Amino acid sequence: MVKELGLGVGLAVVIFLAAQGINLLPVLLLGGIGYYLFNVIDKKSLGKKLSIGSGDKSMIPEVDFSDIGGQDAAKQELLEALNFVKSKQQIKDLGIRPLKGLLLSGPPGTGKTLMAKAAANYIDSVFISTSGSEFIEMYAGVGAKRVRKLFKEAREKAKKSDKNNAIIFIDEIDVLGSKRGQNSSHMEYDQTLNQLLTELDGISVDDQVNVLVIGATNRIDILDKALLRPGRFDRVVKVDLPDKEGREHILKIHTRNKPLATEVDLTQLAKETFRFSGAQLENLTNEAAIMALREEADQISSEHFREAIDKVMMGEKLNRKPKEEELHRIACHETGHALIGELVNPKSVSNITITSRGKALGYVRHNPQDDYYLQTIDYLQDQIAVLIAGSIVEEELLGSRSTGANNDFKKANQLAEKIVFSGMSKLGVVSKNNLPKSKLHETVSEIIEYQEERVTEKIKANKEFISAIAEELLETESITGDEFRTRLEMNKTKEVA
């Protein structure tokens, strides 16, 4: 209607001006260009395809909460919130305001998108998925208009499919919802966020279609406070990295359709995948299956999983082959890490290799027996000892150190600083802002020097053992933690005898 009226008025103006003898060619040219640009912007920007489910029962995400492992606390909190959505009449009778938004916060790959899909399945809802980056354009007003269109389409989809609920899932909501006033060049970011806040405020318990917005982010610290206040995103659900039991549950889910050899121990695999996300664990099982396929094996063995862990952590094997002299140095270096690692934390070494992967010429994989969330002074000092052990072995056995320990020393310094700023050094409780750099350097150096003395003593006492393991690594390229421990026990028995 508006377009027809505008067209009529425009035509009348053109006829009037033509009757007055005015040259209309420049006006028509500019008008045509303006009309073309308006339509291009409108179609390209507002017509950008959102990932929207059809609303049919078959198109509701076929993801159930039972398909998500390692997030029991997050699932419980989310289910409790979703039960409010399912019991609409009951919450209305009790005078409870509707749940408008849920925020899933956690590291990448922990299952935030899966949880949003499972939520749609649980409340029998249409599911509209988009990303925060899809709302931000250089054109003023486009993002806000896209937000309005998104909510309108959610309601229309729900009505069309005869559903009472609609879920709008916004991944990377930090792009859309970051603190206002940070982008001084233009106000498009702020306008888009303002529109989202307006739409959230407009959700009512009396609405025919109950719209629930679920956002996902790993940068909750940069979100605008107005977005997080009660009445908008009412619940913040922490979706963290899974613990050992959670990792085992996830591994069971992703190996249900895979033929495993009888010796595969998922409990042990869960121990060896400390700080793996759900996505990494899925990738681990997939890589192990690919390796079995390459070898034309009928089942996936423990060796396939062991190789897959290294690949997920470090990357694919590289073709580069260091010279024999360099390989010997690498073997000695990694043996030093493994020896001190096993002495300070028995049964922690999982694998030693001098195979190049990613940026590493060789490495030792350490796996704690249990997940620790607090670090004591003894633990941090032991970790520093393990890190500097490689370079000390090089110095004691080969007469000099190399640049291969650069990253080790960087991490050792970071741990030493953590000791200082956690109030566990001789300085006591200190402020990071007020502590002079010279004093920090002096204290960090003392912490590391003490560990160097401690490690040097142990290395000197085990020179022959380190040389023997290094020679074995040059032949086999890799030694498992169990093999290493067996050799270490034999060496201890030999010394006692």
Given a contact cutoff of 8 angstroms between Cβ atoms, the answer to whether 312 and 284 are in contact is: yes
Q: Which residues contact 7 (CB under 8 A, 6 or more apart)?
A: none
Indicate which residues carry an active-site annotation: 334
- CA pair distance 240, 480, nearest whole angstrom: 30
Task: Measure the CA angle with vertex 419, ends 350 and 376; round to 5°.
Answer: 55
- CA pair distance 473, 21, nearest whole angstrom: 95
Given a contact cutoff of 8 angstroms between Cβ atoms, the answer to whether 160 and 53 are in contact is: no
DSSP collapsed to 3 states, 82-118: HHHHHCHHHHHHCCCCCCCEEEEECCCCCCHHHHHHH
